[in-house]
């Protein structure tokens, strides 16, 4: 089961079909939630995987189109179970440098 928007390319993946929607809709929903709360300055933490990176890239574009700025971008190692407590502490410290971001 894959939700990657890359697989929506019918020329490249002629026989691929989905049973669940593309991540594109999840990203759109995130932007709508951010807009609903009236936030214009947000921080993002995402996973270093094809899924996480592609979703982040799409989110970054949609936020820009909606005049929403990204304060902090933090990437977790692909297998979050490998990240140390210090890695998480560093991410939190970095997020705290922009206290107005949501």
62 has pLDDT over 80: yes
Q: Residue 36 falls within a domain, yes or no?
A: yes
Q: Give the end-to-end CA distance of the chain in Å, rounded to a whole number.
A: 31
The DSSP code for 2 is: -
CATH of residue 44's domain is 3.40.50.2300
What does 75-100 look like in DSSP terms, one character per residue? EE-SSGGGS-HHHHHHHHHHHHT-TT
Mean model confidence pLDDT for the chain: 86
Cα angle vertex 27, ends 39, 98, to 5°? 35
| pLDDT-derived band at 1, boundaries 50, 70, 90 | very low
Q: Which residues pair with 73 in a beta bridge?
A: 44
pTM check: above 0.75? no
**Placement of tokens 């669940």 in the chain:** 20
Q: Residue 6 falls within a domain, yes or no?
A: no
State the pLDDT at residue 85. Answer: 84
pLDDT digits (tens, 9 = 90+) for 17-50: 766 777 888 999 999 999 999 999 999 999 888 8
Q: Residue 34 falls within a domain, yes or no?
A: yes
State the pLDDT at residue 79. Answer: 65
Q: How many domains does the chain have?
A: 1
The parent domain of residue 79 ranges over 22-96
Q: Quick one: average pLDDT of 71-77?
A: 91
Structure token digits, residue 96? 């705290």
Q: Quick one: average pLDDT of 60-79?
A: 92
């Amino acid at each position: 089961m894959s939700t990657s928007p890359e697989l929506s390319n019918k020329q490249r993946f002629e026989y691929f079909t989905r049973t669940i929607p593309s991540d594109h809709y999840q990203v759109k929903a995130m932007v709508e939630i951010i807009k609903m709360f009236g936030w214009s300055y947000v921080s993002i933490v995402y996973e270093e995987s094809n899924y996480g990176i592609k979703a982040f890239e799409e989110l970054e574009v949609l936020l820009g189109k909606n005049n929403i700025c990204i304060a902090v971008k933090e990437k977790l190692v692909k297998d979050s179970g490998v990240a140390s407590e210090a890695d998480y502490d560093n991410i939190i410290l970095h997020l705290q440098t922009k206290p107005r971001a949501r």
